Structure formats: structure tokens, C-alpha cells
Amino acid sequence: IYGMDTEGGEYFYAMEYIPGQTVEELARQFVGEQIPPATTLQIGFQVAWALRAANQKNLIHRDIKMANIMVTQEEEGEELVAKLIDFGLAKPHKSEGKNLTLGAMTQGWFLGTPGYASPEQIMVKELNGQSDLYSLGMTMWKMLIGRHPLGEEGPGLIAVQLNNEPDPKDLASLNLPQKVVDLMCSLTRIK
């Protein structure tokens, strides 16, 4: 984000132009829309750094999903560069001081994408950086297995994700190191 301001009573933010594609578009290039583990981890690592930077600025993104991560590549064969986009639902995670929510302004309403929002976000509780890490974990599960780990995406998924965690057995066919499976489980553990 280069800047945030208001004009004529409307909030806006300015971001860099990113030539590339979303991770959602990238997934369509792979069989079963399963992004290879090395690429998933590479993208996830870069998004985690972006979330760290946002957290240092006291921001929670609140809408981490494949459609909100862009990937770009300077030349064929070069490493993908991931960029976190769409801070339209971002808000400060500390309640002291100015409480600006970009985009939809609301009190007591769930904002985010069903299936990716953390349980505390769904229940409209106080959020911190852990909430975005949960969303990143759900996003990475989908990148790895080609589908949402808890079932059919949509509003009905909200009730499922409040009481269920992804099954590590879904990752078994990928032959991932146990540390990666443990990481995926820790990101999506219900607190």
C-alpha cells in the first residue's frame, strides 16, 4: 500500500500495479488445480513476510485467499514473486486510537470470505495477526490439494470451520516432509 486517504467522504488506498496473475489463475495451469508443494511454500513464505510487515503497521488484512495474492515473474524460469493485494477489509488490530476500516464499515458483522476467515473473525471477536495466518493456512491447503480442505466453498462452510480442522491425511499423497504437514496443521488449528 502506497497511501491511504479520504476524498469526498470516501476512503481509498493506492497500491502498486502488478503485472501478473492471481494464485487462483495460476492454479488453473496445474492438473487438479494443485500447485506443486515447492511453489506453494515459496508463495506462502512470501505472503507470511507481507503479513509480518502489515502486522508491524498494526494492520490485519482479513481477506487472505488465492484471489488476493498476485504472482509475477520477470523472465521464464525465474522465481515467482508473490504480492498480497486487496486491503479493502484491512483494519487496525489494536483497538486503541483511530479505528479506521477501509472498505465496508460495519459493527458486529462478519467481513471476509467464508472458508478462509478465522473462527474468531467469523464470530466477530477481537483479531490479531494470528487470524491472517489461519487464512493463509487455509489458502495454502487449497493450493496444495486443489480444493478447500473442509468441503464445498460458500456460506455453509462457516459452520463447518468453526468446529473442524483440515485433515492431515489430505496431504499424504503429496509426500511432504512431516515438518511441512505440522506447519500446515499449526496454521489452521482452532485456537
Whether 112 and 14 have beta carbons less than 8 Å apart is answered as no
CA of residue 112 relative to chain centroid, distance:
10
CB neighbours of 29 closer than 8 A, spacing ≥ 6? none
* Residue 64: half-sphere exposure toward Cβ, Cα within 13 Å: 32
Question: In 3-state terms, what secondary structure has residue 68?
Answer: helix
Catalytic-labelled residue, pool 5, 63, 167, 182: 63
132 assigned to active site:
no
What are the CA-CA distances from residue 175 to residues 80, 151, 183 (Å)?
23, 22, 14
Which of 159, 173, 85, 79 lies closest to 117 in space, CA to CA?
159
C-alpha cell at 39: 511453489
Catalytic center residues: 63
